[in-house]
Amino acid sequence: PPAEPLTERRQAGGVRTIVLNNPRRRNALSLPMLQSLRRDLLHDVKSRELRVIVIAAEGPVFCSGHDLKELSSEDDVKHHSQVFELCAEVMTLIQKLPVPVIAKVNGLATAAGCQLVASCDIAVASEKSQFATPGVNIGLFCSTPAVALGRSLPRKVALEMLFTGEPLSAHEALMHGLVSKVVPEDKLEEETMKISQKICESSKSVLALGKATFYRQITQDLDTAYKITTKVMVDNLTLRDGQEGIEAFVQKRKPVWSH
């Protein structure tokens, strides 16, 4: 029979769900998996119908990180570089997309899988989920996952994960800011859709501007961040939806977004 696709994409009501669909390989981020994920993230991304992207997974492991068989000495340096460069491209792409991206985690997320969760704008996890960067245990320090991890977690928490390889529980991940919410497994879909549907009520153009600005200013010093965001607030008012939202508020009616 033909092989099942490595990712599955479905969309309804403005919400695109991308499912990592290789549970037998623990949804490892092989080169083909990364290529498939990138295609699904970029598909018709400027459409007014696309408002939110949810990344989910089949099986008990959300994502185990890189496929170590691809990183054996049998493959050459060029191939290894291709894997890590594409992975970095996908992780940064998530934050460059004009719509919010939510990780829906139900299980284990390790190494580059943990990096994927940290790279998403929002992460909702079931209580059974765990997060780890265990590369140090096999002699491959999780240096690229550390980029996303170090920007999501307090430095000492990130470094303990990186130095020991020990996992964080879902509630520890919530406490330290790696995930946004932790819910019982049977409430995971409901909570993820609740957040998604709330996002869908807002203007896509306003959210796109806000998301881009958030990531632009967050790495700046305080004065520069305020200079950037002050200009963007003015720019936001020039958007049709910026004016529509204010007019609707004044007129005590629901806004009609043009997106």
* Average pLDDT of the segment spanning 69-87: 87
DSSP 54: E
pTM: 0.96
pLDDT in tens, 158-202: 999 999 999 999 999 999 999 999 999 999 999 999 999 999 999
Confidence at 231, pLDDT banded by 50, 70, 90: very high
pLDDT of residue 2: 59
Where does 7-200 sit in CATH, by number? 3.90.226.10
Range(s) within the chain of domains with CATH label 3.90.226.10: 7-200
Rounded-to-integer distance, Cα 37 and Cα 6, Å: 8
Fold that domain 202-251 belongs to in CATH: Lyase 2-enoyl-coa Hydratase; Chain  A, domain 2 (1.10.12)
What distances in angstroms separate CA 10 from CA 64, 122, 124, 155, 250, one per listed residue?
23, 19, 19, 37, 38
Cβ neighbours around 5 below 10 Å, total: 13
C-alpha closest to that of 113 among 99, 134, 95: 134
Sheet holding 122-126, edge to edge: 7-12, 15-20, 52-57, 101-105, 122-126, 181-183
pLDDT in tens, 116-154: 999 999 999 999 999 999 999 999 999 999 999 999 999
* Average pLDDT of the segment spanning 95-120: 98
Rounded-to-integer distance, Cα 152 and Cα 158, Å: 8
pLDDT of residue 121: 98
Q: Can you tell me which residue has the tokens 């020039």?
A: 238
Asked if the model's pLDDT at residue 1 lies above 60, the reply is no
pLDDT of residue 75: 64
pLDDT in tens, 19-62: 999 999 999 999 999 999 999 999 999 999 999 999 999 999 99
Mean pLDDT, the chain, integer: 96
Range(s) within the chain of domains with CATH label 1.10.12.10: 202-251
